[in-house]
């Protein structure tokens, strides 16, 4: 796994610009790798069909058809929208080793990915993503 650097990301904003763009909770999670409290995010039980995008830059990240109920307190997806939508890096904070998930366009912290937990999904991965990091757009109606 190649560790991303600030230069890796297309969207480059100063800390001040991020603070102007995001509310305090969004800033704490997206830019300082915080976590929203479990079971409080608006997308935990969200069931609409559409696309979840990065609150920081608007990049499309996940589709609703990859979302599943993990009962962990945060929205869970079994795969990102495309292989290049997110980047992953080792996170050794809090006395453990995990894989952090970042937006590939702006480098914002989204959450973590976990493998081998036994969920009945095609990938056996759980992208555990903070709701505050996401926006949602309904899928356009299909012609019948």
User: Does residue 117 fall inside a structural domain?
Assistant: yes
Q: Report how many domains make up the chain.
A: 1
- Residue 97 structural domain: 10-137
User: Does residue 4 fall inside a structural domain?
Assistant: no
Model pLDDT for residues 1-38, shown as the tens digit of each residue = 445 555 679 999 999 999 999 999 999 999 999 999 99
Q: Rounded to 5 degrees, what angle do the CA atoms 79, 84, 87 make?
A: 80
Catalytic residue among 54, 103, 128, 133: 128
User: Does residue 94 fall inside a structural domain?
Assistant: yes
Give the distance from CA 62 to its chain's centroid.
8
Model pLDDT for residues 66-108, shown as the tens digit of each residue = 999 999 999 999 999 876 899 999 998 888 889 999 999 999 9
User: Does residue 66 fall inside a structural domain?
Assistant: yes
User: Does residue 53 fall inside a structural domain?
Assistant: yes
pTM for this model (two decimals):
0.90
User: Does residue 143 fall inside a structural domain?
Assistant: no
User: Does residue 1 fall inside a structural domain?
Assistant: no
User: Does residue 144 fall inside a structural domain?
Assistant: no
pLDDT for 142 equals: 66
The yes-or-no answer on residue 57 being catalytic is no
* CATH at residue 120: 2.170.150.20
């Amino acid at each position: 796994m190649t560790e991303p650097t600030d230069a890796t990301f297309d969207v480059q904003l100063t800390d001040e610009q991020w603070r102007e763009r995001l509310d305090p909770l969004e800033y704490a999670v997206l830019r300082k790798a915080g976590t929203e409290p479990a079971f409080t995010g608006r997308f935990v039980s969200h069931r609409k069909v559409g696309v979840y995008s990065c609150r920081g830059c608007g990049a499309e990240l996940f589709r609703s058809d990859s979302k599943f109920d993990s009962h962990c307190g945060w929205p869970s997806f079994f795969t990102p929208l495309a292989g290049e939508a997110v980047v992953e890096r080792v996170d050794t904070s809090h006395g453990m080793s995990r894989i952090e998930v970042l937006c590939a366009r702006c480098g914002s912290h989204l959450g973590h990915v976990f493998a081998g937990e036994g969920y009945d999904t095609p990938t056996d991965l759980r992208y555990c993503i903070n709701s505050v990091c996401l926006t949602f757009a309904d899928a356009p109606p299909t012609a019948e």
